[in-house]
Structure 1
Amino acid sequence: MSNSEQVLGGKLVLITGCTGGIGQATARAFASRGCSVAVHYNSPSSREKASQLIEQLTKNPGVRAAAFQADLSNYDNTRVFYAQVVQELGHPDILFSNHGVTGPKIGPEGDIGNVSPEVFEEIWRTNAGTHFLLAQLCIPHMQKQQWGRVIFTSSVAAGNGGVIGPHYASSKAALHGLVRWLSLRYCKEGITSNAVAPALIEDTAMLSNPPESLKSKIPIGRLGKPDEIANIVILLATNGYMTNKVIHADGGWTIGGF
């Protein structure tokens, strides 16, 4: 039995945005190490994809999995969603808060006037607000057992502005401040808090049909793969000494930390 199997076996992980490329890859990685998985999906059209994923996950011995549909741009929906997870599978030991939206794409040379305050607030609520709420809901159980993992999906846009717009970049940067506070507050109770910040990952909703020109931004010369992000999430879940970190997975695009 590997160290990751020893650490994760029997744990329940809640993964939001679980039917996307990164979500699916991470769910499979956790299940292969003995974790049960609460599979979140947003659009009702993703129901079949969620069902197929559950079928894959439960082929692993002892792994339970169930799917939950919820619009996580809304706080009340998020509370109902969490209650449904607890009722059906139990309290999550690991939160991989992976959901998000881009909003309008105005690009790095766009006009800030093209993003209304209402849209800005909506993107923030989805990309930061409900992540905060899920952490708030998950942490009391983690405190009781003196063990837990909180992991967010950020973006290199938080550090370099990205290619979408100020609403998206700033919403992702907000997660970094959340990581800092959560980690310093709860790490002595066995709860680590971290984030992974990918850039230009293929087979995701953001890059379902990427132009070749995007590859020129990446020094390594290719787009990232969902499995490569999943490997980082597993590292963050199994390493109890790593907390208060944002891991950049960007093929060398960014220089230094942020």
Structure 2
Amino acid sequence: MSEPRKVALITGATGGIGRATAIAFAKTGRYDLALHYSNASQETRDEIQNTILALAPSPDPDTGATRTGQTRVEFFRADMGGYASVRELHSDVAKVFGKVDVLFNNAGSTLGYQGVKNLADIPIGIFESTWRVNTGSAILLTQLCLPAMEEQGWGRVVFDSSVAAFTGGSVGPHYASSKAAQHGFVHWLAGNVARKGVTVNAVAPALVTGTGMMGQEDGEKAKAMGERLPVGRTGRPEEIANTVLWMVETAYLTNKVITVDGGMYPY
């Protein structure tokens, strides 16, 4: 008997990690995808959709595979810096898909401030804006998606954090503090909803290429940074995506922040 797909909402889905995660979920044939973007072009969205549909399994009429129909992919635009826009995002996704089963809070920003050397170089307004984009909007979206998860007794929430939440990182204090705030929320919410069939976790990557977080993408600087890691290289978006999928499909895993960082941080 075929099993209906679950709906996965991925924010920041046109970036490196978001795109790779959407593809990883699609390959299983078990998820329909609600993909958030902020300013990606139609060309970029079409390319992502075509890639996903080409890689997603097709229904098997002979065996009655564990999926129903073709993978559905829909894009939704929202400004994660505005709570009204986040509410509209949830409303739009609910109108199309009915509910969200899996939420990957992946969208994030440095607001253009990277490699900060002095606290005085970051206006307090940048702190507040960064927290809103990286943490506040993710918490609000979780709050909006959670009732349906609790009602059906199954749900998954994953945050895309950063090793900077543990180490301070190299981007700046605005970014590190916004990611650290996610961890406190994960720990509180995970304990609150564990008996309701909802798991809450975070993945904390470091030095992943193709994300726009290292400045000079895939250049000599990034290569040199990767060579300092125990594994001797930077990470790939697909490696983060596979971790997120593992988190979603492992019901016994909750209240965890998993670093995927090439051995940079020991916990």
TM-score by length of 2: 0.89
What amino acid does structure 2 have at the position aligned with 1:37? L
Q: Give the corresponding residue for 1:31.
A: 26
CA distance in 2, matches of 1:63, 1:175: 31
For residue 158 of structure 2, give the secondary structure of its aligned residue in structure 1: strand
The answer to whether 1:255 aligns with 2:255 is: no
String of CA shifts for 1:168-197, please: whole Å, max 9, x gaps: 000000110111011000010000000000
Asked whether the equivalents of residues 104 and 165 of structure 1 are also in contact (C-alpha less than 8 Å), the reply is no
CA distance in 1, matches of 2:114, 2:52: 38
Match of 2:43 among 48, 53, 59: 48
CA distance in 1, matches of 2:228, 2:204: 16
Asked whether the equivalents of residues 201 and 225 of structure 1 are also in contact (C-alpha less than 8 Å), the reply is yes
CA distance in 1, matches of 2:131, 2:108: 9
Asked whether the equivalents of residues 227 and 234 of structure 2 are also in contact (C-alpha less than 8 Å), the reply is no
Deviation of the 1:255 alpha carbon? 1.9
The answer to whether 1:69 aligns with 2:99 is: no
Q: Sequence identity, in percent?
A: 44
Deviation of the 1:105 alpha carbon? 3.4
For residue 86 of structure 1, give the secondary structure of its aligned residue in structure 2: helix
For residue 255 of structure 1, give the secondary structure of its aligned residue in structure 2: coil
What amino acid does structure 2 have at the position aligned with 1:65? V
The answer to whether 1:206 aligns with 2:213 is: yes
For residue 58 of structure 1, give the secondary structure of its aligned residue in structure 2: helix
Q: Give the corresponding residue for 1:141.
A: 148
String of CA shifts for 1:59-88, please: whole Å, max 9, x gaps: 433211101111111100100111111112
Deviation of the 1:57 alpha carbon? 2.3
CA distance in 2, matches of 1:143, 1:124: 27
Q: Give the corresponding residue for 2:135.
A: 128
Q: Give the corresponding residue for 2:86.
A: 78
The unaligned stretches of length 5 or more in structure 1 are: none
Q: Give the corresponding residue for 1:101.
A: 109
The unaligned stretches of length 5 or more in structure 2 are: 59-69
Deviation of the 1:58 alpha carbon? 3.1
CA 1:42–1:95: 2 relative to 1, 3 Å: same
What amino acid does structure 1 have at the position aligned with 2:120? G
Deviation of the 1:106 alpha carbon? 5.2
CA distance in 1, matches of 2:189, 2:90: 19
Match of 1:242 among 250, 253, 263: 253
CA distance in 2, matches of 1:141, 1:79: 15
For residue 38 of structure 1, give the secondary structure of its aligned residue in structure 2: strand
Deviation of the 1:104 alpha carbon? 4.3
Q: Give the corresponding residue for 1:224.
A: 235
**Aligned Cα root-mean-square deviation (Å):** 1.6
Asked whether the equivalents of residues 41 and 47 of structure 1 are also in contact (C-alpha less than 8 Å), the reply is no
What amino acid does structure 2 have at the position aligned with 1:231? N
String of CA shifts for 1:121-150, please: whole Å, max 9, x gaps: 000000100000010001000011000000
CA distance in 2, matches of 1:106, 1:14: 28
What amino acid does structure 2 have at the position aligned with 1:94? V
The answer to whether 1:181 aligns with 2:188 is: yes
CA distance in 2, matches of 1:53, 1:181: 35
CA distance in 2, matches of 1:236, 1:136: 20
CA distance in 2, matches of 1:223, 1:105: 21
Q: Give the corresponding residue for 1:57.
A: 52
Q: Name the count of aligned residue pairs.
A: 248
